[in-house]
Structure 1
C-alpha cells in the first residue's frame, strides 16, 4: 500500500499590531535581539514603527 499524505494547515503567527493570524510564509518579520516580530504587511509595520518613535510620558 502507498501512504497518503494528509493535508496540513500552514503554520500561522499573529501580527504584532492587528493580531490577525497569518501564514508564517506570508508574514513580514523583523528580528530583534531576543525574538522575531511578525507583521501582516507594511501598513502594520509602519504603525508599529511610528508607535515606537513616540516618547513615553
Structure 2
C-alpha cells in the first residue's frame, strides 16, 4: 500500500509595502512595540522606512 504524504504549505505573510505574499521563513521583520511588520526584501524595507521618516518629520511641524 502506498502512503500519500500531505504537502504542507508554508505559513505566508504579506509584505508591508508591496503586499506580496511571501513565506514567513523568508520574510524580514521589524519588531515594533505592539506588532511585527514583514518585508519581502531590503528595497521594501527602505521604502517603508523613508515613508515613516517623512510622516514623522511632517508631524513635527
Q: TM-score range by the shorter chain?
A: 0.7 to 0.9
Structure richer in helix, relative to its length: 2
Unaligned runs of 5+ in 2: none
Deviation of 1:4 after TM superposition, in Å, equals 4.8
- Aligned residue pair count: 57
Larger radius of gyration: 2
- What is the CA RMSD across the aligned residues, in angstroms? 1.7
Where in structure 1 are there 5+ consecutive unaligned residues? none
Structure 1 stretches of 4+ moved >3 Å? none
TM-score (normalizing by structure 1): 0.87
Residue 34 of structure 1 corresponds to 34
TM-score (norm 2): 0.82
